[in-house]
């Protein structure tokens, strides 16, 4: 998945190093408690059971499909055939319902300057902000009303809603199993990432400028349905079905999950923790994928059109980050699991190079192994401004006595 969707803070480039530390740890299940796009699970592979956790629905869906599915992703050709009828019918009804908006967008895209599209863009954000939570539920026009004209085009949003409608019909009629439905929704998320006009996250849609308008138009011209079918060809689980049956995917706040596992008969042997390290909340950057998965007509607020009730991680708040590290490490030690943490030297937790080893010594009663890795990571234009930043990422590993 790390190849298909760009994700802030993914450890794709460090996963091999983390994988080496996991291999040197106790045998038994590895629990990746902030799994994101599961770079480390991919690197460790089938050598042990992989358990994942992430508080976000989208990240959980990625992990569950990749590591826990009993079935392969549905083949794109047969899925296309199965969907065709409901897709075409619903698309036609959306085309009728949103005829004015579709025409306005078509006109704006035919102009050489972006001024016409900027009207479409501003209007669409204003409209989305005026929507009432839950209103329209069941009419399968969520992306037309919320995100068309801003993050994606009207034609693309129409494809999204019509495909989502067709997939839900197939699920209801028993023509697609729940897992097949999940894989197909993941495919839709990949297609969104290919078609949207963003820097790789959804904190804000990019308003076109005259010097970016040609690129903007090319992005709007992409077929979301085609990207979806292409994604369906690329999505695949890891390992054998038998191995996947030994894996687990949780969707909890890590600080609730770890204590709940102390009474479980099966416990993780190794915990890998890659917490968020800035004040940027993931729920703000990836809200559109949450809405794609839940399809629940949330309210939309601000220029980014964020969902109401989104998760706020205590690891991304200055006032709570230290206490959260304390709890994380204490709970991991209580589970008697080896622990590997990755955290950059300049993360939100101040003086982390002293504080993390202090906490590890306090709860594990031994000094951690420390590996420093210099690398340049993508900020995707998040709050730090520049696109790439040189960071020293530090891996801390401690084994239980």
Ligand X SMILES: C[S@@+](CC[C@H](N)C(=O)[O-])C[C@H]1O[C@@H](n2cnc3c(N)ncnc32)[C@H](O)[C@@H]1O
Nearer to ligand X, 158 or 382 (CB): 382
Judged by CB under 6 A, which of 5, 22, 30, 59 binds ligand X?
Answer: 59
Nearer to ligand X, 42 or 91 (CB): 42
Give the chain as a 3 state SS string.
CCCCCCCCCCCCCCHHHHHHHHHCCCCCCEEECCCCCCHHHHHHHHHCCEEEECCCHHHHHHHHHHHHCCCCCCCHHHHHHHHHHHHHHHHHHHHHHCHHHHHHHHHHHHCCCCHHHHHHHHHHHHHHHCCCCCCCCCCCCHHHHHCECCCECHHHHHHHHHHHHHHHHHHHCCCCCHHHHHHHHHHHHHHHHHHCCCCCCCCCCCCCCHHHHHHHHHHHCCCHHHHHHHHHHHCCCCCCHHHHCCCEEECCCHHHHHHHHCCCCCCCCEEEECCCCCCCCHHHHCHHHHHHHHCCCCCEECCCCEECCCCCCHHHCCCCHHHHHHHHHHHHHHCCCEEEEEEECCCCCCCHHHHHHHHHHHHHCCCCEEEEEEEEEECCCCCCCCCEEEEEEEEEEECCC
Q: Supply the minimum distance, in Å, between the C-beta of residue 150 and ligand X.
A: 23
Q: Supply the minimum distance, in Å, between the C-beta of residue 218 and ligand X.
A: 28
- The mark string for 293-332 relative to ligand X (x by CB under 6 A, - otherwise) is --------------------x-x-----------------
Judged by CB under 6 A, which of 11, 201, 225, 397 binds ligand X?
Answer: 11
Q: Return d(Cα 147, Cα 307) in angstroms, integer.
A: 12
Q: Supply the minimum distance, in Å, between the C-beta of residue 260 and ligand X.
A: 13
Question: Quick one: 118 exposed, middle or buried, by C-beta within 10 A (0-12, 13-18, 19+)?
Answer: middle
Nearer to ligand X, 212 or 320 (CB): 320
- The mark string for 231-260 relative to ligand X (x by CB under 6 A, - otherwise) is ----------------------xx------
| Span interacting with ligand X, options 8-16, 125-133, 344-352, 390-398, rule CB under 6 A | 8-16
Nearer to ligand X, 218 or 390 (CB): 390
Judged by CB under 6 A, which of 21, 50, 55, 339 binds ligand X?
Answer: 55
- The mark string for 33-52 relative to ligand X (x by CB under 6 A, - otherwise) is -xxxx-xx------------
Judged by CB under 6 A, which of 43, 56, 204, 352 binds ligand X?
Answer: 56
Q: Return d(Cα 298, Cα 308) in angstroms, integer.
A: 6
Nearer to ligand X, 70 or 376 (CB): 376
Residue nearest to ligand X (CB): 36
Interface size with ligand X, residues (CB under 6 A):
22
Q: Supply the minimum distance, in Å, between the C-beta of residue 91 and ligand X.
A: 33
Is 208:44 a contact under the CB 8 Å cutoff?
no
Place of tokens 């839900």: 168
Q: Supply the minimum distance, in Å, between the C-beta of residue 39 and ligand X.
A: 3
Nearer to ligand X, 39 or 232 (CB): 39
| Span interacting with ligand X, options 9-17, 115-123, 190-198, 347-355, rule CB under 6 A | 9-17
Nearer to ligand X, 34 or 202 (CB): 34
Residue 182 binds to ligand X (criterion: CB under 6 A) = no
Q: Which residues bind ligand X (CB under 6 A)?
A: 7, 9-11, 34-37, 39-40, 53-56, 59, 253-254, 274, 276, 282, 313, 315
């Amino acid at each position: 998945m790390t190849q298909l969707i760009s994700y802030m803070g993914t450890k794709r480039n460090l996963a091999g190093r983390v994988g080496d530390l996991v291999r040197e740890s106790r045998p038994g299940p590895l629990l990746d408690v902030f799994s994101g796009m599961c770079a480390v699970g991919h690197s460790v592979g089938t050598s042990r059971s992989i358990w994942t956790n992430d508080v976000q629905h989208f990240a959980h869906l990625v992990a569950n499909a990749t590591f826990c599915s009993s079935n392969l992703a549905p083949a794109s050709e047969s899925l296309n055939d199965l969907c065709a009828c409901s897709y075409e019918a619903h698309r036609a009804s959306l085309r009728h319902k949103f005829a004015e908006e579709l025409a306005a967008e078509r006109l704006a895209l035919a102009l050489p300057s972006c001024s016409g599209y900027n009207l479409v863009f501003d209007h669409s954000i204003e409209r989305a902000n005026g929507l009432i939570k839950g209103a329209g539920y069941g009419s399968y026009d969520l992306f037309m009303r919320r995100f068309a004209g801003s993050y994606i085009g009207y034609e693309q949003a129409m494809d999204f809603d019509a495909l989502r409608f067709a997939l839900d019909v197939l699920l209801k009629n028993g023509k697609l199993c729940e897992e097949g439905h999940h894989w197909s929704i993941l495919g839709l998320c990949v297609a969104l990432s290919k078609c949207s006009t963003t820097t790789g996250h959804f904190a804000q849609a990019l308003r076109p400028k005259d010097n970016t308008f040609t690129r903007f138009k090319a992005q709007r011209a992409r077929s979301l349905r085609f990207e979806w079918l292409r994604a369906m060809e690329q999505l695949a689980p890891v390992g054998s079905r038998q191995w996947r049956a030994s894996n687990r995917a949780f969707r909890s706040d890590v600080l609730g999950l770890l204590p709940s596992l102390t009474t479980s008969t099966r416990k993780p042997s190794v915990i890998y923790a890659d917490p968020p390290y800035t004040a940027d909340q993931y729920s703000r950057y990836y809200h559109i994928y949450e809405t794609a998965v839940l399809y629940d007509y949330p309210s939309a607020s601000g220029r980014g059109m964020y969902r109401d009730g989104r998760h706020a991680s205590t690891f991304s708040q200055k006032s709570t980050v230290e206490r959260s590290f304390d709890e994380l490490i204490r709970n991991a030690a209580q589970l008697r699991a080896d622990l590997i943490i990755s955290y950059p030297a300049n993360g939100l937790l101040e003086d982390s190079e002293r504080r993390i080893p202090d906490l590890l010594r306090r709860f594990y009663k031994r000094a951690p192994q420390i590996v420093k890795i210099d690398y340049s990571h993508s900020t995707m234009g998040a709050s730090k401004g520049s696109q790439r930043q040189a960071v020293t990422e530090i891996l801390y590993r401690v084994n239980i006595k």
